Amino acid sequence: MASPLISTSELAAQLGSANLVVVDSRHDLMNPSVGRGAYTTGHIPGAIFMSIDDDLSAPKTGSNGRHPLPTPEVFAATLGANGISNTSKVVVYDGGNAMYAGRLWWMLRWLGHDHVFVLDGGIAHWQKEARPVETKANTLAATTFSAKANNAMRLTAAETQATLTDSSRRILDARALERYRGDVEPVDPVAGHIPGAFNRAFALNLRDGVFKPAEELRREFEAVLAGRSPEQLIHQCGSGVSACANLIAMEHAGLPGSKLYAGSWSEWCADPARPVARS
């Protein structure tokens, strides 16, 4: 399987190509307007902007987490409205750590679109290399996207809870260690983690602003798997966004197939009947 990453030099050589769609998905959990503002200030030439909150999430109910997945039909319509078709090659980027770019990457894969890549190092690496940016807003002609959702890629809260007594499965929390332990909780109303979950912050995937070599990441995630297959690993984070960066890292390392609990901690802790661990 090819790497889900694309380098800045590879993207630069492809700008302007037919069927290429570059998507800016910058975001800030604490200030959602930051992403669109950053896009306006400067973005990769030709890039469109898609919002984590407005384009990549369904309405919140209070029990379905901070970034609930839209239905495949609704998201397919959003893709088409933004000029993304089943024949598009999509390159998505964020500020640099793949925390937000991974969300669109995973959602496209979920709908059966494999021709999607994450820009390694994001716009930070692009600008570090003094590559061009522009400020004009871009829109693409609306098209049609036909979804073929692969729901085997995701787990619900109930399915995730059912694995807590299954030692063959492992849950991996991508949040920072202090949030996992429950020392602090800046976003959600309850601190802590899913009982039995292991922690590996998604930031550990990077070195000098880009992903570590595939061989190194493979060793690190094989230690997490501890003899399990990737299919037995369930990724989660705060709201199903940054966990996708660990999914990218695993696929880059040649370990595809693990699952996403998309509701993640924000959905989990919304139900007081679900257990909470702190350590």
Give how far Cα 143 sits from Cα of 45, 74, 114, 176, 218, Å. 21, 14, 18, 39, 38
269 is catalytic: no
Q: Which helix (H) or strand (E) holds 73?
A: helix 72-81
Beta strand 206-207 pairing with 210-211: antiparallel
CA distance 78 to 209: 31
Residue of 50, 101, 224, 237 marked catalytic: 237
CA distance 59 to 80: 19
CA dihedral (145, 240, 63, 34) positive or negative: negative
- Asked whether the beta carbons of 242 and 161 are under 8 A apart, the reply is no
Q: Is 237 helix (H, G, I), strand (E, B) or coil?
A: coil
Which residue, 14, 34, 171, is CA-closest to 89? 14
Residues annotated as catalytic (active site), given as ranges: 237
